[in-house]
Amino acid sequence: MNQYQEKLFQKIESSELAISVIGLGYVGLPLALRFLEVGFQVYGIDSDERKIQAISTGKTYIKHIPSDKYDVYRKNGKFQATSNYEFVGKSDVIIICVPTPLTLYREPDLTYILQTMESLFPHLKKGQFICLESTTYPGTTEEVLQPYLTKSKLTCGLDAFLAFSPEREDPGNQKFTTQNIPKVVSGVTSSCREIAARLYTKIVDQVVEVSSTRTAEMTKLLENIHRAVNIGLVNEMKVVADKMGIDIYEVIRAAATKPFGFVPYYPGPGLGGHCIPIDPFYLTWKAREYGVHTKFIELAGDINSSMPNYVIEKIIYGLNKSEKSLKKSKIIVIGVAYKKNIDDLRESPSLFVIQKLLELGAEVFYHDPYISEFNEHGIQLKNSDLSTQLIDESDCVVVITDHDSIDYNLLLERSKLIIDTRGRYKSALEKVIRA
């Protein structure tokens, strides 16, 4: 153990660390909060001035993280939010939690990581520990981040340290939090891994060390590919079951009684969020470098991507049964967040359904208690109150995101037609069509 590693260990144990968390979104903000809770100094850095302003004035911009969770640390000076990377020079630890989207061609877009590293570069110094948490393809930590240390005349594992620890946040999940979700960690060298393990042990209940950053990067991809493939399977099963007049939700519930060998996954209107629709394609892209075509993963992606169109077909079918055309029909979309009980719109299938409905000439309203308005994909809409008048005047209600606070009995009582993509209603109900 050299002097730099020993000094970091001492600061970790005494909670004297200063940490810069780059990216204050659904991953970075909960992580910053957890570091604050154990006594560290935290600088939250983000390019979005709206987030900086919200934190600086004691407001929240993520509904399931109330401002009182972190405002006390803002007031006592332990938490500073800024867009200024000069704070990196005051930090012992730098944790990167920036988005990793796809290009239009389903290829990795590392723009945010590269921009972050360029901004960090002038402020890097000896003795710092850098950890990437953004989901990416195996090799990113070593191939993309490590060269910046070399360019700074720093030697990884000796006077600077580099690690990867994939985020495992599940926004809105009350059971699993940053603290009780096991944390996978690794480093470019053994000393980097040891520091990562020691650091995260301060904030999580269980740290899982793996042999390399590539292994840690692949672990995150496998977790999300596992879900994407199984959701793709059950989405395909849904279509087959529907053709056969079988309730797929009853099938899943029955299969889930088997105490071994089966894990229940549920169909839906398509995938949403920052992970499952995107992460599998990071591996398919990297696999091509090794001459491997990941057919299974890509097939699941194609099935899941087709589900919003399946919903549209069901809407058209339901309206036709009532001798109505989709054009000029009044449609209420229930829920635009990508999953229930959160305010996250990223990659939400609702957006694709709404876009298609508008293109086909429908008049579209939405109700979502978590999202007051949005401007995405060229669509700008405001939340509508779920009044009896609006329901009575509508031709169809489409349940896309089944927030628990929605009055589903009211919808069933007043609606003419319900397209249910989440299994909220029994399929035998006359006015309900499963999609």
> How many Cα atoms occupy the beta-carbon half-sphere of 240 within 13 Å?
8
Query: How many angstroms separate the Cα of 24 from the Cα of each of 40, 84, 134, 157, 373?
Result: 17, 13, 12, 28, 21
Write the DSSP symbol of residue 312: H
**Backbone phi and psi for residue 371, each to the nearest 5 degrees, phi listed first:** -130, 110
Q: How far apart are CA 243 and CA 257, in angstroms?
A: 24
Question: What is the per-residue DSSP string for 46-102?
Answer: -S-HHHHHHHHTT--SSTTS-GGGTHHHHHTTSEEEES-GGGGGG-SEEEE-----B
State which H helix or E strand residue 428 sits in: none
**Tokens encoding 262:** 């089966």
Cα–Cα distance between 155 and 420 in angstroms, integer? 57
Between CA 169 and CA 133 the distance in angstroms is: 11
Beta bridge partners of 19: 42, 93
What whole-number distance in Å separates Cα of residue 205 and Cα of residue 71? 24
Residue 171: C-alpha distances to residues 103, 147, 219, 290 (Å)? 24, 33, 20, 34
Which two tokens mark 122? 């002038």
323: left (phi over 0), alpha (psi -120 to 50) or beta: left
How far apart CA 181 and CA 204 sit, in angstroms, is: 7
Run of H or E residues at 107: none
User: Would you please indicate which residues are annotated as catalytic (active-site) residues?
Assistant: 275
Q: Are 235 and 165 in contact (CB under 8 A)?
A: no
Residue 142, amino acid: E
